[in-house]
Amino acid sequence: GIQVEQSPPDLILQEGANSTLRCNFSDSVNNLQWFHQNPWGQLINLFYIPSGTKQNGRLSATTVATERYSLLYISSSQTTDSGVYFCAGPSGGYQKVTFGIGTKLQVIP
């Protein structure tokens, strides 16, 4: 299966700052997802983005499949953005999904 690496592992931001999270994967993927896990453990799907760029409010994501990486941009961060951000890609068929170890984001007022 694919290997998924995320960076940075930890990030502290002042409220209002912007940030970029990166996800590298070891093999080509035709499906990449970004998730946010809140402090209570709930995983929320942010983007399904096998290639190209998508935007949703203050969040946007870009995947360059040929170079095997994806970026998640957070603009004008808010304290509610705190949590762990995971990227995940398919591994071994069907919908077996391999997750990275995540980027833990803390936004301070």
Partner 1 sequence: DAGVTQSPTHLIKTRGQQVTLRCSPKSGHDTVSWYQQALGQGPQFIFQYYEEEERQRGNFPDRFSGHQFPNYSSELNVNALLLGDSALYLCASSRPGPGRLGDTQYFGPGTRLTVL
Summarize as ranges the residues that interact with partner 1 (CB under 8 A): 4, 30-31, 33, 35, 40-45, 48, 50, 86, 88, 90-102
Residue 77 or 103 with smaller CB distance to partner 1: 103
Report, in Å, the least distance between residue 76 CB and partner 1.
Answer: 25
40 conformational bin, left if phi > 0, alpha if psi -120 to 50, beta if neither: alpha
DSSP state of 26: S
Report, in Å, the least distance between residue 109 CB and partner 1.
Answer: 25
For the chain, the first-to-last Cα distance in angstroms comes to 40
Residue 76, CA atoms < 13 Å, CB-side half-sphere: 2
Residue 15 or 48 with smaller CB distance to partner 1: 48
Report, in Å, the least distance between residue 58 CB and partner 1.
Answer: 20
Q: How far apart are CA 63 and CA 24, in angstroms?
A: 10
Residue 66 or 94 with smaller CB distance to partner 1: 94
Report, in Å, the least distance between residue 92 CB and partner 1.
Answer: 7
Q: How far is CA 3 from CA 8, 60, 68, 98, in A?
A: 16, 23, 11, 8
Residue 77 or 102 with smaller CB distance to partner 1: 102
